[in-house]
Amino acid sequence: MPITKSAKRQMRQNIKRRLCNKNIKENFKASILEFRKLVTDKKIKEAEKLLNEIFSKLDKAAKEKVIHKNKASRLKSRLSVALSKIKVKK
C-alpha cells in the first residue's frame, strides 16, 4: 500500500484511468464481436454501417493510448478484409 500522500493520490488516479480504459476496450471489443456475427450471417449492409462505428472507436482508443496505433490499424484491416470477402462471394 502507498505510504506518501502523492502515492495515494496516484493510486486513486490509476484506478479511475483503469476503469475508463477498460470501458473503452470492452466497447470496441463488443462491437467487433457483433460485426463478426453480422459477417457470418452475411448481412452486408448492417456490417458496413457498423464498420464505420468500429473504425472511429478503434481510432479513439489508439488516440487515447488504450491500444497501440498499429493494433488499431491491424484490426481495421482485418475487419475490412472479412467484409470484402463476403462481398466478393456474393
The answer to whether the CB of 39 falls within 8 A of the CB of 53 is: no
pTM, full prediction: 0.86
pLDDT of 32-83, one tens digit each? Answer: 999 999 999 999 999 999 999 999 999 999 999 999 999 999 999 999 999 9
**Integer Cα distance of 58 and 24 in angstroms:** 9
Question: Average pLDDT for residues 2-15, to the nearest whole number?
Answer: 95
Q: Which domains does the chain have, with CATH numbers?
A: 5-89 (1.20.58.110)
pLDDT of residue 87: 85
DSSP element (H, E) containing 30: helix 5-40
Q: pLDDT at residue 3 above 80?
A: yes
Per-residue pLDDT tens over the stretch 18-32: 999 999 999 999 999
